[in-house]
Chains A and B, each alone.
Chain A
């Protein structure tokens, strides 16, 4: 990575006002270049990724103007990667302290402190016999259709194709669009467009009113 190239890109990016398209594009390009250079500090701690995100937000906000930091980036004082690494390491240090304190507070050792970064949790689904309550409630709502709205919403020209029908078929274990299309003799796009425009809003509203949000 040629420093001169980087510097001229910084200058060019900062010529444009914050939030402008050219500024955003410049920041994106700078991000790519700097990340590809591999010069940023890396460590294998559980909070690293979050601190990384925080650092790049800081970069975007303070490269050209001091939006949140005390000063904006000054190329006379340090290289861009040094500037970023200083911030990154400071925030990592903050998190390390927090992490240490949390560890000391943990009473039950059986609960993992951080998340599972594998897909093994999916294996538990083989063992689950019960239908989740959300699915049960949604199925019941669609079946009983208390306001009659789901039956009232029909595909034009096809009284048999209602939101009630489609919702019940698309709730897991769902019938594929291809199968529905074959069964009802209608193109996938006709069915899915009707579903998206008319039926999803009903599901959304049910989700909001049933207190699921």
Chain B
């Protein structure tokens, strides 16, 4: 037992907690009806902030606002400390206090999680230790000795990124997967925008697929069609990306964002729809085999990221 504790201590990641995080945690806590709930929300909020801070250093994009922990009603009605990792899933960031040896995971967060990060908040409230990570749980109480070092979280996220990758080289071999469809299937009624081609007719070597994307915003949802067209060249591939309104609609909603991201999530190109756009497109770009990029589609607070490898 002593050995395990030492191991956890050695691999723990010391973090500091800033005033902005504490202020926010207090603000959320003050919404609660009783002391017990307020304390729960306070520490849950700090834990999420700490993990998010670390992921930011690692260059891993997260969306605080998308979490139930950031939704006043959801956190009122459940014990939740979730953090959305953009494009990959949800991480649960469970707080424990100093001298606690067991981390209890509430039932309402047993499902739908990449895994659980345990964050020990020090009594000073100015420091914390990311004690470790566990991918899945088979019981509600996790002894700290069962935690893997935080590097395992990195490995898990990296694995997920690879899994969700759309492999464009496979498209050249005719392997597309279920979600990427032939445009004839998506646009059953002739789509004016789609048929209107500004590009020269020598695009016969092009491989084109589309995916229906559902953007869930605050009020309502919006479907769009993401089109990716490839032109394989010698050891590179030219890629064309467009966004269309769904079958039957003529215009895209305004302020729809389409962006090309590097494999470090830097925005390389971005376009935005205006009032009556039939489609929007990114400037054609070329990549080498193996190169990775992401396409981001966003409208209001809804965002989808698709990861690709050439």
Q: Is B112 in contact with A196, judged by CB distance below 8 angstroms?
A: yes
The 8 A CB mask of B131-159 against A (1 = contact, 0 = none) is 00000000000000000001100110010
Q: Is B35 in contact with A21, judged by CB distance below 8 angstroms?
A: no
Residues of B within 8 A of A (CB): 13-14, 16-20, 22-23, 26, 29-35, 37-39, 42, 53, 56-60, 65, 68, 70-74, 76-78, 106-112, 124-127, 150-151, 154-155, 158, 218-219, 263-265
Report if A189 contacts B (CB, 8 A). yes
Q: List 10 A-B contacts (CB under 8 A).
A: A28-B13, A53-B18, A57-B56, A115-B22, A115-B26, A119-B125, A126-B35, A138-B76, A177-B106, A196-B111
A125: chain B residues at CB < 8 Å are: 32, 34-35, 38
Q: Is A204 in contact with B68, judged by CB distance below 8 angstroms?
A: yes
Report if A78 contacts B (CB, 8 A). no
Q: How far is the CB of B22 from chain A (nearest CB, A)?
A: 5
Residues of A within 8 A of B (CB): 17-19, 21, 24-25, 27-29, 31-32, 35, 46-50, 52-53, 56-57, 59-60, 114-119, 121-122, 125-126, 128, 131-132, 134-135, 138, 167, 170-173, 177, 188-189, 191-193, 195-197, 200, 203-204, 206-210, 212-213
A177: chain B residues at CB < 8 Å are: 106-108
How many Å lie between the Cα of A32 and that of B16 in the bound state? Answer: 13
How many Å lie between the Cα of A197 and that of B59 in the bound state? Answer: 30
B14: chain A residues at CB < 8 Å are: 32, 35
B68: chain A residues at CB < 8 Å are: 200, 204
How many Å lie between the Cα of A204 and that of B73 in the bound state? Answer: 7
Which 10 residue pairs across A and B have the least CB separation, nearest first?
A: A192-B107, A207-B73, A125-B35, A50-B18, A19-B264, A49-B16, A21-B158, A49-B18, A207-B71, A212-B72
Given A48-B16, A115-B23, A197-B111, 18 extra CB contacts under 8 A? A19-B264, A28-B150, A49-B19, A53-B16, A57-B57, A59-B57, A60-B57, A121-B26, A121-B29, A122-B39, A128-B33, A134-B76, A135-B33, A177-B108, A200-B77, A200-B78, A208-B218, A212-B71
Q: Is the interface of A mostly helix, strand, loop or mixed?
A: helix
Q: How far is the CB of A193 from chain B (nearest CB, A)?
A: 6
Residue of chain B at shortest CB distance from A136: B33
Q: Is A188 in contact with B34, judged by CB distance below 8 angstroms?
A: no
B65: chain A residues at CB < 8 Å are: 213
Q: How far is the CB of A211 from chain B (nearest CB, A)?
A: 9
Q: How far is the CB of A36 from chain B (nearest CB, A)?
A: 8
Q: Is B154 in contact with A196, judged by CB distance below 8 angstroms?
A: no
Q: Is A131 in contact with B33, judged by CB distance below 8 angstroms?
A: yes
Q: Is B151 in contact with A25, judged by CB distance below 8 angstroms?
A: yes
- With A53-B18, A167-B77, A171-B77 given, is the CB distance from A200 to B108 under 8 Å? yes
B111: chain A residues at CB < 8 Å are: 192-193, 196-197
Residue of chain B at shortest CB distance from A178: B107
Q: Is B154 in contact with A134, judged by CB distance below 8 angstroms?
A: no
A48: chain B residues at CB < 8 Å are: 16
How many Å lie between the Cα of A47 and that of B18 in the bound state? Answer: 7
Q: How far is the CB of B216 from chain A (nearest CB, A)?
A: 10
Residue of chain A at shortest CB distance from B161: A21
Q: Is B33 in contact with A122, judged by CB distance below 8 angstroms?
A: no
B19 CB contact (under 8 Å) in A31, A47, A191, A213: A47
B74 CB contact (under 8 Å) in A27, A172, A200, A209: A200
- With A122-B38, A192-B110, A204-B74 given, is the CB distance from A24 to B219 under 8 Å? no
How many Å lie between the Cα of A39 and that of B106 in the bound state? Answer: 39
Q: Is A46 in contact with B19, judged by CB distance below 8 angstroms?
A: yes
B265: chain A residues at CB < 8 Å are: 19
Q: Is B108 in contact with A195, judged by CB distance below 8 angstroms?
A: yes
How many Å lie between the Cα of A197 and that of B110 in the bound state? Answer: 11
Q: Is B17 in contact with A49, judged by CB distance below 8 angstroms?
A: yes
How many Å lie between the Cα of A191 and that of B107 in the bound state? Answer: 9
- With A46-B19, A171-B76 given, is the CB distance from A209 to B125 under 8 Å? no
Q: Is A209 in contact with B219, judged by CB distance below 8 angstroms?
A: yes
Q: Is B26 in contact with A116, judged by CB distance below 8 angstroms?
A: yes
B77 CB contact (under 8 Å) in A117, A119, A170: A170
Residue of chain B at shortest CB distance from A193: B111
Q: Is B57 in contact with A52, judged by CB distance below 8 angstroms?
A: no
A189 CB contact (under 8 Å) in B23, B32, B107: B107
How many Å lie between the Cα of A213 and that of B56 in the bound state? Answer: 23
